[in-house]
Structure 1
Amino acid sequence: MYISRLKIQNFRCFQDVEIEFNEGLNVIIGENNCGKTTIMKALQYFFKGANNSSAMGIDDFNKNIIIGEKPPEITFVLTIQSSNHEKAQDRAVVASWLTKLGSPWEATLTYKFFLPEVDHKKFAEDIKAVDDEDQNRKKWAILEKYLKKYTSRIYGGNYESKNRADQEYLDKFHCEVLDALRDVESKMFTGRNALLKQILNFFIDSDLLEKDENERKTVQEQRNQMFETDSSSLVTNMIARISVGKIFGLADQTGASVGGHPTLGGQLDTSDVLSVLKLMIKKETGIEVPVVNNGMGYNNLIYISLLLSKFKMLVSSEMGENAKVFPMLLIEEPEAHLHPALQYSFLRFLKDEIDKHEISRQIFITTHSTHITAAVGLDPIICMNVNSHGEIVPAYPGKVFSDTPEDQSSKKYVARYLDATKSTMLFSKAVLFGEGLAEQILLPILAEYACKSLDKSHVSMVRVDALTFKHFIKIFGAGIQEERKKYAISRRVACIIDSDPARLPHNVPSGKSRRWKKCFPFEVDAKPDEYTYSKVSGAVTNLLSSVQDCENVKVYYNSTGKGKTFEYDLAYENSDSDLIFDEAVEIIDFEGLESSVWSAEDKEKAKKAASYLTYVEGGKGEPAFNLAEKLKENLKAETRKVFNLPLHIKDAFKWVCYDEED
């Protein structure tokens, strides 16, 4: 079984939202203040003993609720569902909570934080008595006054039945939480700390479990006898070193010895020795240092490994009726103090462990790390984002793809290329897709020339190829089946793509196939008897078709009929700029330009733009780097040189920076 859904009402940033979870690993991402921690907190109210009235405060109520005569409530509804890896005792634990029989079965828990009905009448009277002036503030003050009377309940099964969930069965679930501000060293330094002591106690003599019962009993007795002898000798030797007479010499004079002479005694048991053990780190040099002197990142990993060891203990048959059935792990920001490579390997480890179904039944992680999202792939990711109505809603990038071969091909492509760079698009407020290296280098700088900042606007710049736009935009709701759009990430996306006009020859030599070939814009319609022309490439046409039913994804290309590529368009708009044209760019003549019907001015611009394109195509990215440096220096200059942007690029910046009405 696994936790399949969580519905949250009137709690913190959520007024009414339902989050779907995956069996196994769940990675919750999103901007700041988008409810990641709130989701983790809601889960804890079921399984961490937080279900008491003192656990909630006035600030836990969603601030958008309207306080009327009926006192507001906070509600969580948790759905538990059967899975392919169901264990024998799963259904027995949730039997009284079942709300759906058959396969898969479902069980429901409902957490309510509410004002008992006996106080409703007085609450309503107080609310009705509020005058019109500053009404909202006064109503919230009344609610806060009544909070001390609020209580909480966890119900199992259909809520209408009001059947309280039995604590015995709730205790079969075990929830461990690592919050973002954790102090792991204090929890595992010595055997006196609860976590380490629990684990040491459980795993002592664990090697005997592999032996048969008779041999295990014999060896255990031998070890116990050896420990008793050694510990008794140790206590006796210690007492012998202490001058008992000097300590208790005055006992006779005070009369204390009438009831017997004081002396020293005692014995050591196993737990006493475990308490003095310290967790040490053995370096490659052989030197051992206390764990408190170890790096915080490595200590976090050690602590998590101890928790997973604890899970082994909790589900063990050695625990008898106290064994847990469903251990789960909640980790906030596991990237804390971990360098990128370690983040990646750690998440791969967690994913592999959860796939084995041996330790934790379910893991929930919140993160801001692109390295972690790159490590886990698409399916475990739950992306909390703000929709067009200002509501925080979940999105599931792995679920936007249907089972069709085309969609599955797209999913594999995105998963393969969702590295730490490209996965920034899952965290940003908007995404700008560019077609090549030059776009990746130059667009963030060009945005400054449009008085925009991609960084300050939280826009992610992602480089793709002309034919792979179609794969990535599906995550944002473009080019997918209508019923899948509810899973898409709701944010603005701009695709800047080359117009790349092309022509198709009417006749070709025998043995050769007719193919569209790119041409310059001034060549379009020049030889209609020989070629069929298209002012834009098939990639543009297909991309426009993919986004036609998606309001948040837009395509930007040079639609003037005079554009070609990103570099060509920049050079065309800045044909007199020495920021682009220097001695390295050779101005050359092009066949067909003079016979074009374009104006002399446009022909000159096209000539220089085509020359610059010829130059950059042989530069392997270096011209883009050089131009970027010049543009950066120009931004700092007291007298800044004019640098014009093509209209479609300006419009793309306006869209992703949310100021298209400028």
Structure 2
Amino acid sequence: MGRVVKIHRVEIRNFRAVRSAVLDDCGDLNVLIGQNNAGKSTVLEAISLFFRATATGELADIRPPERDGTFLQIADLHRADGRPEPADISVDLVLSRDALRHIAIVLHPEAPLLAKKIQDRTDPILRVTMTASPQAHLRISRMVVHSPDAPNSDVVLFALTYAESEKIRISRWMAATSLETVASLTHWMRQIKKSDEEDAREGLRELIGRIDTHLPASLVERYHRLIGPAGWDEERRDLAQQLVTEMRELVGTLARDPLSHTIKTPGEVPKLAAYPASILRLVGSPSVLHLRDRRDPVGAEEAGRLLRLKTQRSGRESLKAVQAAVKAILGVDLETFESEHGGSAEIDLDGFLVQVNGAGVREGLRVILGRELEEPQLMLVEEPEVHLHPALEVSMFEYLRKASATTQLFVTTHSTNFVDTAAMRNVYLVRRTPWVTVERLDVERATEVIPRELGMRLSSLFMYDRLLFVEGPTDEDILRRLATTLGVDPGHGSVGFVQMGGSRNTGYYANAGTIDFLTRRRVKPVFLIDRDEKTPGEVEELRDKLAKAGATVHVLEQRELENYLAVPRALATFIQKKRRDGGRDGGDVTEEKVAAALEKCGAELRTITLRKRVVKALRDPVAIPSRLDGDGEVAHLLEGAIRTVIAEWEKRREEAADMVEREARDVDHAWTGDWRAVAPGDELLDAVCRQFGFASRRTRTAPRWPHC
């Protein structure tokens, strides 16, 4: 089924924690990302509320169908100084040609000039605004047709003020209460007896007290005569009968025209017109499926629908499509049968009842069956990836991306896989600072500014407030495990990690384009760099360079992260565990023995430390220049460049002995101060582990030590 209307823009004001938020330029698939409690679900609730309200076809005093429960509560409205304020939800809808033709047809009998104006529009957009009063009463306050290419030529189709809406609401309430009054009067006239005259009078007094401020004065005066102190005589019975007749006439009048004066439509309509309700029914016509984070479990209803597809000739292809989708996304075979115990149908997944399958499969199945069985034109899904394995997350989001060709989707997610794998144009970042704000992310610009060669995931750019750039995977693992040990969750702090592949790539990741983009995104970049063999001057130079680019850099005080793990107590606990895991006794490994092993291995690493420093000092490149400038033959210029290189190496060879002696003095000085800070940490840990009978593999073992 083609889409009658499609959401182009959503604007929300004063709804729950939203003061003012806009989803602009909405597409087929719209993804909302943000931290927990940022307000993503609030945005979807606002969209859901709008369509549930418009589906009633009511312009004022909008009430939900019984199955939808309460539309709105005063607590949902933004409060200023402790008082609720009116809330607005405006939705811009792109109209199909059929929808535009329908609006023109319903306009023509009552407002032909309006019909002509909208027929002349190119790519018209219908903006419908729903307003909630401070008392949480809903009304459609405005309908406007506008065109993107003509921003100052809005055509107002309908406007309803708060006062007019209140008249409609009171009229309906009066009609209902008047019917109740008629029923009560009729009942009392039949049952009245002298002995219960006072009870009858009190009942009438309570009922009239609820509505007398809204009744005509003549009716109020006669009601007070009816409930006066005199006895219940024949005259009073006649008066009660007259009131019953007049109240019935009042109910009819209220039903025919709830307003006593004109609603503001553009000059042509003498009273409350019929066309706004017709347009509203069109707006509310798309089928909407809202899957909240707490979803109803798949049960007998879905099983029965699938079983009917199975037993109907025309339904078998639809069932096959459902089974294929479930298999592709969740990796299980779906079947449906009549229950052996009678009474209802059942769903089996891989031969087991759906109820005994894992939470991820059950949650994923709810999303798939909702889409396949309901075939909604608009689908609001909160966290479709919940409980799914990362590999299945990708499959789920690819399924939703394809579904968006016929179903407009608004999805909230915490999954980095979705942001990284889906080809998306419409990603919205939802923040709470302290009010909920929504920002459309420039994904295309991000992919241009941040080269793919950097290996940075798009989710790193959009889903975190801080990015910690580390040299490699071991550094990230150590920091994550250390955070866990300390009871700190980087995710809750909105901290993401980026692995650079060594400190040599720091400048590559800290390029001006990346830092500028992150700064404008209000993402704070922090670089954590190993000290290695850097001199104090080199450290300061690195800090100054990154500070000018707008980044913060922390250079470790010790050589590398592994040096911070060279703690006898922690190492002893770790080695004991490793020995027990290998079937050996770990009780003979004491903190004192590990401390002695550290000293022994450290002394042996002094020479290696010196070698690393010497190599670092000598490895500055000496090469032939990229251009051979000067006069003469190329061969002559090349020979001169080679001689220059040789001369430089000869100079370094002559200075080598002095360099080694100088570096040796520096190592001795550092060794005397704190040798554990300058020794190669990864080699130190490996050497200590070997002393106790097993090898330490840096990439697999080091990250586990922070738990010890």
TM-score by length of 2: 0.51
Secondary structure of 1:595 counterpart: helix
Equivalent position of 1:89 in the other structure = 98
Q: 2:555 aligns with which of 555, 558, 574?
A: 558
Q: Is the 8 A contact 2:35 2:494 kept in 1?
A: no
- Say which of 60, 66, 69 aligns to 2:81: 66
**Residues in 2 aligned to 1:11 and 1:204: alpha-carbon distance in whole angstroms:** 48
Worse overlay, 365-374 or 613-622: 613-622
314, 319, 323: which one pairs with 1:205?
A: 314
* Secondary structure of the corresponding residue to residue 180 of structure 1: coil
Partner of 1:228: none
Partner of 1:151: 138
- Is contact 1:571-1:580 (8 Å) kept? no
Measure how far apart 1:73 and its partner are: 0.4
Q: Equivalent residue of 1:345, what SS? A: helix
Stretch moving more, 617-626 or 176-185: 617-626
Gaps of at least 5 residues in structure 2 are 57-61, 64-69, 108-113, 145-153, 161-275, 319-341, 569-594, 615-655, 688-694
Q: Percent identity?
A: 16
**Residue pair 2:9, 2:93 contacting (<8 A) in 1 also:** yes
Q: Show CA shifts across 1:68-88 (max 9, x none).
A: 7xx720111222358xxxx64
Residue 367 (structure 1) aligned with residue 421 (structure 2): no
What are the residue-to-residue correspondences of 1:211-290 with 2, within 5 Å? Answer: 278=345, 280-281=347-348, 283=350
In structure 2, the residue corresponding to 1:182 is in which secondary structure?
coil
Matched, 1:587 2:606: yes
Q: In the alignment, is the contact (CA less than 8 A) between 2:528 and 2:555 conserved in 1? A: no
Counterpart pick for 1:408 among 441, 448, 461: 448
> Aligned-pair distance for 1:349?
1.6
What is the identity, as a one-letter code, of the residue corresponding to 1:42? A
Letter in 1 for 2:20: D
Partner amino acid, structure 1, of 2:131: K
| Change beyond 3 A, Cα 1:343–1:394 | same
Q: Is the CA contact (8 Å cut-off) linking 2:39 and 2:431 kept in structure 1?
A: no
Q: Is the 8 A contact 2:565 2:706 kept in 1?
A: no
- Cα distance in 1, alignment partners of residues 317 and 424 from structure 2: 43
Mapped to 1, the partners of 2:508 and 2:132 lie a distance apart of: 44
**Distance in 2 of aligned mates of 1:16 and 1:545:** 35
Aligned to 2:432: 386
Deviation (angstroms), 1:371 = 4.1
Does the residue aligned with 2:372 lie in a helix, a strand or coil?
helix
Q: Could you tell me which residue of structure 2 aligns to residue 521 of structure 1?
A: 535
Residues 115-142 of structure 1 show CA distances to partners (whole Å, capped at 9, x for unaligned) of: 6xxxxxxxxxxxxxxxxxxxxxxxxxxx
Cα distance in 2, alignment partners of residues 448 and 480 from structure 1: 30
SS in 1 for 2:37: coil
* Counterpart in the other structure of 1:439: 475
Match of 2:516, SS state, is: coil
Equivalent residue in structure 2 for 1:351, among 381, 401, 407: 401
**Residue number in structure 2 paired with 1:174:** 287
What residue in structure 2 maps to residue 329 of structure 1? 379
SS at match of 2:517: coil
After TM superposition, give the deviation of residue 496 of structure 1 in Å. 1.8
Instruction: Look up the match of 1:507.
Output: none
Residue 47 of structure 1 contacts residue 174 of structure 1 at CA under 8 Å; is this kept in 2? no
Q: Which residue of 2 aligns with 1:215?
A: none
- The code of the aligned residue for 1:152 comes to R
The answer (yes or no) to whether the contact 2:566–2:681 under 8 Å persists in 1 is: no
Change (3 A) 1:292 1:498: closer
Match of 1:185 in 2: 298
Indicate whether 1:308 and 2:371 are aligned: yes
- The two structures, once aligned, show a CA RMSD in angstroms of 5.2
**AA aligned opposite 1:156:** M
Q: Hey, what does 1:44 align to over in structure 2?
A: 48
CA shift digits 1:241-268 (9 cap, x unpaired): xxxxxxxxxxxxxxxxxxxxxxxxxxxx
Q: Distance in 2 between matches of 1:28 and 1:534?
A: 41
Post-superposition offset of 1:347:
1.2
Aligned to 2:20: 16
In structure 2, C-alpha distance between the alignment counterparts of 1:181 and 1:475, rounded to whole Å: 44
Q: For this pair of structures, how many residues does the alignment match?
A: 450
The alpha carbon displacement at 1:329 in A equals: 0.9
Give the whole-Å Cα distance in 1 for the aligned partners of 2:99 and 2:596.
73
Check conservation: 1:36, 1:366, Cα contact below 8 A.
yes
SS at match of 2:370: helix
Q: CA 1:154–1:67 in 2, change beyond 3 Å: closer, same or farther?
A: same
| Between 339-348 and 456-465, the greater mean CA deviation after superposition | 456-465
Query: Is residue 8–residue 16 contact of structure 1 (8 Å, CA) maintained in 2?
Result: yes
Please give the per-residue CA displacement for 1:478-522, whole angstroms capped at 9, x wherever unaligned. Answer: 32399xx3xx2x45442223577xxxxxxxxxxxxxxxxxx7427
Change (3 A) 1:352 1:205: closer
Q: Distance in 1 between matches of 2:395 and 2:317?
A: 33
* Structure 1 counterpart SS, 2:662: coil
Q: CA deviation at 1:434?
A: 1.6
The equivalent residue for 1:612 is: 680
Q: Is the 8 A contact 1:25 1:364 kept in 2?
A: yes
The CA deviation string for residues 568-615 of structure 1, in whole angstroms up to 9 with x for no partner, is 9869999xx989766276111347364369797447569865541694
Other-structure match for 2:500:
464
Distance 1:470 1:161, change over 3 A: farther
Quote the residue 2:697 is aligned against: 622
Shift of 1:459: 3.7
Label 1:479 to 1:456 Cα distance change in 2 as closer, same or farther (>3 A).
Answer: closer
Q: Which amino acid aligns with 2:475?
A: E
SS of 1:26 mapped into structure 2: strand
CA separation of 1:613 and 1:471: change in aligned 2, threshold 3 A? same
Matched residue, 1:478: 515
Distance 2:548 2:527 in 1: 13
Q: What amino acid does structure 2 have at the position aligned with 1:480? A: F
What amino acid maps onto 2:515 in structure 1?
Answer: A
User: 1:573 and 1:306, CA in 2 relative to 1: closer, same or farther beyond 3 A?
Assistant: closer
Q: Following TM superposition, by how much is the alpha carbon of 1:40 offset from its aligned partner in structure 2, in angstroms?
A: 0.8
Q: Indicate conservation of the 8 Å contact 1:580/1:627, yes or no.
A: no
Counterpart amino acid of residue 281 in structure 1: D
Matches of 1:401 and 1:604, distance apart in 2: 53
CA distance in 2, matches of 1:603, 1:492: 36
Distance 1:90 1:579, change over 3 A: farther
Do the aligned partners of 1:78 and 1:110 also contact (CA within 8 Å) in 2? Answer: yes
Structure 2 CA distance, aligned partners of 1:4 and 1:594? Answer: 73
| d(CA) in 2 for partners of 1:395, 1:428 | 14
Gaps of 5+ in 1: 116-145, 210-274, 315-326, 501-518, 525-532, 548-553, 634-662
The separation in 1 between residues aligned to 2:372 and 2:553, in whole angstroms, is 54
Residue 35 of structure 1: how far off its partner (Å):
0.9
User: d(CA) in 2 for partners of 1:46 and 1:353?
Assistant: 23
Q: Structure 1 CA distance, aligned partners of 2:442 and 2:389?
A: 26
> Matched residues in 1 for 2:444 and 2:488: separation?
31
Aligned partner (choices 71, 78, 83) of residue 55 of structure 1 = 71
In 2, Cα distance between equivalents of 1:105 and 1:578: 81
Distance 1:468 1:99 in 2: 59
Letter in 2 for 1:495: F
Deviation at 1:457, TM superposition (A): 4.5
Taking a change above 3 Å as real, the CA distance of residues 188 and 473 of structure 1, as seen in their structure-2 partners, is farther
Q: Deviations over 1:610-633 (max 9, x none)?
A: 541694899999347655555543
CA distance in 2 between partners of 1:92 and 1:473 (Å): 55
Return the TM-score normalized by structure 1: 0.54
Distance 1:208 1:347 in 2: 23
